[in-house]
Amino acid sequence: MNLKNTNIVLASILFLLTINLKAQETVTIPLSNPLKPGLLKMGIINGSIKIIGTSGKEVIVKGTKRKDDKQHRRHRVGKSNTNGLKRISNNSLEFSAEEYDNTVRVRSSVHGTTDFEIQVPKNFSLKISTINRGEIYVENINGTMDVSNTNGKITLKDISGSVSADALNRNIVVNFIKVTPNVAMAFSSLNGDIDITFPKTIKADIKVKSDRGEIFTDFDLKTKPSSAKITKGNHEKGNAYNVKVEKWITGSINGGGAEILFKNFNGDVIIRAK
């Protein structure tokens, strides 16, 4: 087997690397087939995720462990007497990255807070999430994106493709350059604004609701009458009707297309044309 074939075989097997001891580390992960689109999967408990699409053919993962602080430190010494003792912080870094068949999985330790900066080829799909102490930022990506952040902001800048995004307590801001046609999308928040910019030529059916916020758009939205949801045959009340009226606004843009859903509770929904 020549050197070229050996490299191809090595790039196709499972790539696994665990980093520890240092507070910051960068690893480069080769793809099995650099000419084809890939997928990045990662879900972390504490920390930020920043992803930039590049013209490269590898995935570069940089992890940085945040310094411990008193507010988020867990005290494990109980009632032991520590007077006069010097505390030694454990700021070691631990994460893993593996690749198989152009799917890259990044995992982080549940202890402490690690921020990630990741470079991927531009044609890459994402399935990413974080829960505490971090934001998600994505730029210059073309693919299918499933993004979730419980307590931080989501920003997707200059992207192409399709998105499903939810941020429980912060804003969602997305700027599309191009949208994959005939693919449904969804955006939801509880306590933040949803601010999405689409190409002005997009064709879509819109379904939008905000219980305690406002809805804004500069598209020529052709609204449709909303209908009540009716359920018949409640087992406790014989054949009684159960009628539920929800404050959804539905309509079409540029003749209609795949459905894009916006659901909010305490924040505004802003749909922009560019």
| Strand duo 142-149 + 136-139: pairing | unpaired
Distance (Å) of CA 218 to CA 18, 125, 198, 249, 273: 49, 29, 11, 15, 6
Q: According to the model, what pLDDT value does residue 127 have?
A: 98
How much is the average pLDDT of 220-230?
A: 76
Residues 6+ apart with CB under 8 A from 240: 232, 233, 234
Give residue limits of the domains in the chain. Answer: 18-66+90-222+254-273
If one counts every other C-beta atom within 10 angstroms of the C-beta of residue 46, the result is 20
Residues 168, 158: Cα–Cα separation, whole Å: 23
Question: What integer pLDDT is reported at residue 109 of this predicted model?
Answer: 87
Q: Is the pLDDT of residue 128 over 80?
A: yes
DSSP helix/strand/coil, 12? helix
From 100-114, 134-148, 217-231, the region with the lowest mean pLDDT? 217-231
Split at pLDDT 50, 70, 90, the class of 192 is very high
Give the model's confidence band at 240: pLDDT under 50 very low, under 70 low, under 90 confident, else very high. Answer: low
pLDDT at 17 over 70: no
| Each residue's pLDDT tens digit, 39-74 | 999 999 999 999 999 999 999 999 999 886 454 555
State mean pLDDT over 131-157: 97
DSSP letter string over 81-97? Answer: --TTPPP-------EEE
In the block, residue with structure tokens 């602080």:
69
Mean pLDDT of 89-101: 81
**What is the model's pLDDT at position 125?**
98
Lowest mean pLDDT among 211-215, 242-246, 261-265: 242-246
CB 46 within 8 A of CB 133: yes
pLDDT at 272 over 50: yes
Instruction: Work out the number of other CB atoms within 10 angstroms of the CB of residue 45.
Output: 18
Are 153 and 170 contacting, i.e. CB atoms less than 8 angstroms apart? yes
Position 234 confidence tier, pLDDT thresholds 50, 70, 90: low
- Using pLDDT thresholds of 50, 70 and 90, give the confidence band for residue 12: very low
CA 179 → CA 12, 183, 263, distances in Å? 31, 9, 20
165 vs 83, residue with greater confidence: 165
CA 145/CA 95 separation, integer angstroms: 22
Residue 4, pLDDT above cutoff 60: no
> Is a pLDDT exceeding 50 seen at residue 82?
yes
167-191 per-position pLDDT tens digit: 999 999 999 999 999 999 999 999 9
Q: Which is more confidently placed, 66 or 254?
A: 254
Q: Pairing relation of β-strands 154-167 and 136-139?
A: parallel
Q: In whole angstroms, what is the distance from residue 170 CA to residue 193 CA?
A: 7
